[in-house]
């Protein structure tokens, strides 16, 4: 299996994030995640690592608001030039807003901090010096994997960091800046029908936002119920699309402590929907934070569960673009990823 990976991700390493209740903690979405996955993949005899191709900004602008992407590109530099104290110790800082737009009056502010509150959803999408470059490289990993799926009609893995599924058309959130899976799905939609299945523990709110009114990409998310879990405001069962997209989005919000049996039951329903849609390609947003020991999740999915999840999805026999999303039990992360992927090799 071809694994598309870029070392650019290492340059995105915020020194902290602000957790629930205002607590400052070390950044959970850190480069060690990739090191654990790389280490596990290198022990296999089927992983072929490839540097992604640069697709330029066109496929990103086709998915995201141009003003938002320009904000990501310039925010850090603008902030440094506006604050000499920050510029003196940039490695100790991360750019975050203090106020957030409620979006009741959708007006983009003119000031940097105003734009930050408009374009950023929460306090985990921390921007540092090379966040934009890392996000672009991550998107190119996803696009390169999609191109491989088209050319070979086989599955490919975009080892993406930062992840993407919480990034909406014009906002960052949940460690995500560019929605890698959505950029790849939109690019693939010119080649045929696309289904996008999100198995991350948290609802794929950004993906839902991007495709909610479209009928050429079926989007499905299996996740912790937003009644108790991030992102709190989106991901409910009654959100099924709008306009042309009505009926082409499905959320499976699951209760705390969902185990292998409960998860696989929801997955069976999702797979039936995908079969009925009859896509040419499948995008899999692969979050490993459903794992029983993940510090940011409450599900009880086991390693055996990941194997069964992979088997069921691979049995669709579709060229599948697997995109790395979350997963924060770092010591188990690499093995869990390999357990899922080996069904597609």
- Tens digits of residue pLDDT in 313-322: 999 999 999 9
Q: 226: helix, coil or strand?
A: coil
What's domain 2-65+130-341's superfamily in CATH? Histone deacetylase domain (3.40.800.20)
Q: Would strands 24-25 and 17-18 be described as parallel, antiparallel, or unpaired? A: antiparallel
**What band does 191 get if pLDDT is binned at 50, 70 and 90?**
very high
Q: Would strands 320-324 and 281-286 be described as parallel, antiparallel, or unpaired? A: parallel
Instruction: Please compute the mean of the pLDDT values over residues 295-304 and round it to a whole number.
Output: 98
Distance of CA 331 to the CA centre of its chain: 20
Residues labelled as active-site residues: 166
How far is it, in rounded angstroms, from Cα 140 to Cα 142? 5
What phi, psi does 198 have (nearest 5°)? -110, 115
The whole-number pLDDT of residue 105 equals 72
pLDDT in tens, 273-291: 999 999 999 999 999 999 9
The proportion of the chain whose per-residue pLDDT surpasses 90, expressed as a percent, equals: 94
The proportion of the chain whose per-residue pLDDT surpasses 70, expressed as a percent, equals: 100
Residue ranges of the domains in the chain?
2-65+130-341
E strands in 167-229:
194-198, 217-224
Is pTM beyond 0.75? Reply is: yes
Q: Which of 183, 190, 184 is nearest to 156 (CA)?
A: 184
What is the average pLDDT value for the chain, to the nearest integer?
97
């Amino acid at each position: 299996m071809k694994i598309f990976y870029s070392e650019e991700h290492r340059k995105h390493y915020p020194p902290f994030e602000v957790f629930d209740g205002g607590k400052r903690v070390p950044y959970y979405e850190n480069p060690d995640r990739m090191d654990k996955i790389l280490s596990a993949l290198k022990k296999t005899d089927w992983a072929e690592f490839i540097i992604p191709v640069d697709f330029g900004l066109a496929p990103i602008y086709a998915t995201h608001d141009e003003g938002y992407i320009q904000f990501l590109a310039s925010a850090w530099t603008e902030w440094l030039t506006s604050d000499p104290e920050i510029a003196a110790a940039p490695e100790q800082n991360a750019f975050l807003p203090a106020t957030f737009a409620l979006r009741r009056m959708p007006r983009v502010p003119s000031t940097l901090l105003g734009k930050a509150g408009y374009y950023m959803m929460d306090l985990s999408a921390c921007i540092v010096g090379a966040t934009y470059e890392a996000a672009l490289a991550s998107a190119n990993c996803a696009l390169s994997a999609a191109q491989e799926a088209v050319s070979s009609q086989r599955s490919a893995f975009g080892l993406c960091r930062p992840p993407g599924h919480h990034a909406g058309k014009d906002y960052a959130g949940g460690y995500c800046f560019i929605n890698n899976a959505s950029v790849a799905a939109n690019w693939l939609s010119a080649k045929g029908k696309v289904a996008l299945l999100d198995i991350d523990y948290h609802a794929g709110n950004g993906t839902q936002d991007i495709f909610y009114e479209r009928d050429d990409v079926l989007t499905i998310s299996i996740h912790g119920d937003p009644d108790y879990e991030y992102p709190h405001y989106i991901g409910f069962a009654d959100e099924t699309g709008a306009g042309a997209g009505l009926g082409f989005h499905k959320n499976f919000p699951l209760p705390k402590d969902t185990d292998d049996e409960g998860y696989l039951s929801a997955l069976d329903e999702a797979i039936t929907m995908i079969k009925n849609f009859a896509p040419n390609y499948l995008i899999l947003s692969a979050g490993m934070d459903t794992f029983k020991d993940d510090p940011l999740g409450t599900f009880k999915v086991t390693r055996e569960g990941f194997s069964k999840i992979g088997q069921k999805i691979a049995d669709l026999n579709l060229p599948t673009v697997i995109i790395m999303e979350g997963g924060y039990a770092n010591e188990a992360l690499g093995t869990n990823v390999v357990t899922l992927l080996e069904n597609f090799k």
